[in-house]
Chain A
Amino acid sequence: MSVNEKSSKSATTVNLGIEIAGVRFANPIFVASGTFGYGSEAARFCDISGIGAIVTKSVSWNPRPGNFPRRIVETPSGMLNSIGLANVGVDAFVTEKLPYLAEFDTKIIANIAASSVGEYCSVLEKIEANATGNLVGYEINVSCPNVKDGGLSFGTNVGMVEEVVRALRPLTKKLLAIKLTPNVTSVAPFAQACEDCGADAISLINTVVGMSVDIRTKRPRLSTVTGGLSGPAIRPIAIAKVYEARKATKLPIIGIGGIATASDAMEFFIVGASAVQIGTMNFVHPDASIRVRDELTQLLTSQGCSSMKDVIGTLEVSGEMRSLGW
């Protein structure tokens, strides 16, 4: 068989489908919370039905106006943001946003943010009671660096994360993923806690705390002084956190951080992520997830792989590397 015959044969047989906690996704390329809105904004530029799953913008109980400007600063190969969880609130989310998203043939994961355990529960219960057919689960944001109440204080305290997961688990049979922060010395205990308390998956990473200063005015560029760094600049941090979490838990991991191409996504799969989310690159190309999905098919084909099983968790670390503590 010639090379051409081989590649054209495998091109038709690559299967990007994956399963996380019993939920089938047509492909492992999702869009990250806060970087795709509620779908409608990007619909003009992107074939929404081709996305593996849409993780919606964090929704809280009450609508939140967000922080005062300036909210974004571009940095080398990345950006800092301090949006402050601006969102429509859970009522508008269930009456306006979910029905709109239900019209697309894609899976929806509702991301929830809150400043107390009770608020997390109320928001989840409200969504659960109004769930549309394609809502397959929840991603719990315990890690936003840009809000004064809640936010990082949850995500950097193992006991709090345990409390949130324990409280939420009995409220739904749907997929329950916990989105962790990289802003801790070690992510392993958090991943372990999620597993122990009944979560179905973990999402890693949220943004990395960062800061930028205007050297002319000597003032911080963001209104909140520090903000969350995202984009290709943070990818190595994200890979390392996924690697660390992979060793600490058997839970499926959804990798996030600086993915711009299929090879970026492959790094996450090899380290052990079952799916990935595209974040900041949606701002550059609103159809970034479709581009990465198509590139991934080509990449897998060229590597002779027929399914995601052939790549997920295939990292090889030699004995000497391990003995150095890595």
Chain B
Amino acid sequence: MLAPLVAKRTLTHDLFVLRLAAPTIASSVQPGQFVNILPRTGAIDPLLRRPFSVYQTGEGWIEVIIQIHGKGTEELSKALVGDSLDVIGPLGSPWKYNSGSFSTAILLVGGVGVASMPSLTQACESSNIPFETYYGARNERLFADEYLKRVHYATDDGSKGYRGSVIDLLRSDLRSVAYAHPKLFVCGPTPMMRAATTLAAEFDIPCEVSLETEMACGVGICQGCPVQTTAAELEKTGKKFHLVCTHGPSFEREQIVF
């Protein structure tokens, strides 16, 4: 589907936002889902679409935030207001925020992982789910917190909030603050997500992580985006791998090895 670029803005020095007119996606997307954008117009290089979380939605539009990583995101950074981008979506399964037994949602964020958090924040608010957001970065200039609420900050250099890792901040809060039956919803760099699953195991609380893998199709055809399942999940489902594009991008920590 062709989606006109209606606005473009810079969020932090390495993140920019594209607002695309995409009424069908805007009206059906759920928190945690993503879209697949073709980062070119005519030529065939780069060839494949690139996946991006839906960051924010409004009347007839969606926003994505993009960090320049390589060829495709570089190409997208050149898109101008008025250009049309070829977008497929919404894809993937939503965050599982309205199932399972928990009372407090803890949104744990790092880096560009912030992209899937505004929609989850709004879902928690409209479903009356109490929530807290923990957000870590190297320094305060890297925070993209415009749509977040109830944020506890941590920076490596102490320029905002707790000095040190956001995992350490959350660990100390889980010890001292009485969060009722918390569940972690995590999206960030892989080391942070690994640390989050360890933390969740330490406190024996549920934890869902949103993964990124290379994708060719984004719709469950190519089998190119697998993540290995745990022994328990293999036993339960008979599947040695789950596909990140359709089963995920988010998984309960007990489901997968990463």
Contacts and interface: CB of A to CB of B under 8 A. Distances in A.
B226 A71 contact: yes
Contacts of A286: 88, 217, 219, 221
Nearest to B86: A285
Nearest to A260: B44
A42 B228 CA distance: 24
Interface in A64-83: 65-66, 68-74, 76-79, 81, 83
Interface stretch (B45-53, B128-136, B185-193, B195-203): B45-53
A79 B47 contact: yes
A280 B49 CA distance: 12
B196 to A, nearest CB: 21
Contacts of A298: none
B88 A37 contact: no
Contacts of A34: 222-223
B123 interface: no
Given A66-B226, A231-B47, A283-B222, 16 more contacts: A35-B221, A37-B221, A41-B219, A42-B221, A44-B219, A65-B239, A68-B226, A69-B225, A69-B227, A71-B225, A71-B226, A72-B224, A76-B45, A283-B217, A284-B38, A286-B221
B214 interface: yes
Interface in A33-53: 34-37, 41-42, 44-45
Given A69-B213, A72-B214, A77 B47 contact: yes
B240 A78 contact: no
Contact of B224 (A77, A78, A83): A83
A272 to B, nearest CB: 25
The dominant DSSP class at the A interface is loop
A284 B41 CA distance: 12
Interface string B215-255: 11111111111111000000000011100001000000000
A120 B169 CA distance: 58
Contact of B220 (A41, A68, A76, A284): A41
Contacts of A231: 44, 47
B219 A79 contact: no
Contact of B221 (A65, A66, A260, A282): A282
Q: Which of B38, B47, B228, B246 has the most CB of A within 10 A?
A: B47
A86 B221 CA distance: 11
Size class of the B contact interface (CB-based, 8 Å): 20 to 34
Interface in B119-175: none
A151 interface: no
A6 to B, nearest CB: 29
A86 B226 CA distance: 10
A3 B146 CA distance: 59
A86 B225 CA distance: 12
A232 interface: yes
Nearest to A258: B44
Interface in A18-42: 34-37, 41-42
Contact of B49 (A71, A260, A284): A284
B224 A65 contact: no
User: Lowest 5 CB-CB distances: which A-B pairs, in order?
Assistant: A72-B224, A65-B240, A283-B217, A37-B221, A283-B216
Residue of B46, B49, B223, B228 contacting most chain A CB atoms (<10 Å): B223
Contact of B222 (A69, A70, A72, A78): A72
Given A42-B221, A66-B241, A283-B221, A232 B47 contact: yes
Task: Name which of A35, A68, A83, A284 has the most chain B CB atoms within 10 A of its CB.
Answer: A284
A65 B44 CA distance: 31
Nearest to B244: A69
A65 B224 CA distance: 12
A282 B222 CA distance: 9
Interface centre among B45, B214, B216, B220 (most CB of A within 10 A): B216
14 contacts: A34-B222, A41-B220, A44-B219, A66-B223, A66-B241, A68-B228, A69-B213, A70-B214, A71-B224, A71-B226, A72-B216, A79-B216, A284-B47, A284-B48
Contacts of B239: 65
B220 A280 contact: no
Nearest to B72: A74
Contacts of A232: 44, 47
B89 to A, nearest CB: 11
Given A69-B213, A83-B224, A74 B46 contact: yes
Nearest to B88: A45
Contacts of B46: 74
Contacts of A36: 221
B189 to A, nearest CB: 17
A212 to B, nearest CB: 12
Contacts of B224: 71-72, 81, 83
Contacts of B226: 66, 68-69, 71, 86
B87 to A, nearest CB: 12
Contacts of A66: 223, 226, 241
Contact of B216 (A37, A77, A81): A81
Contacts of A280: 47, 216
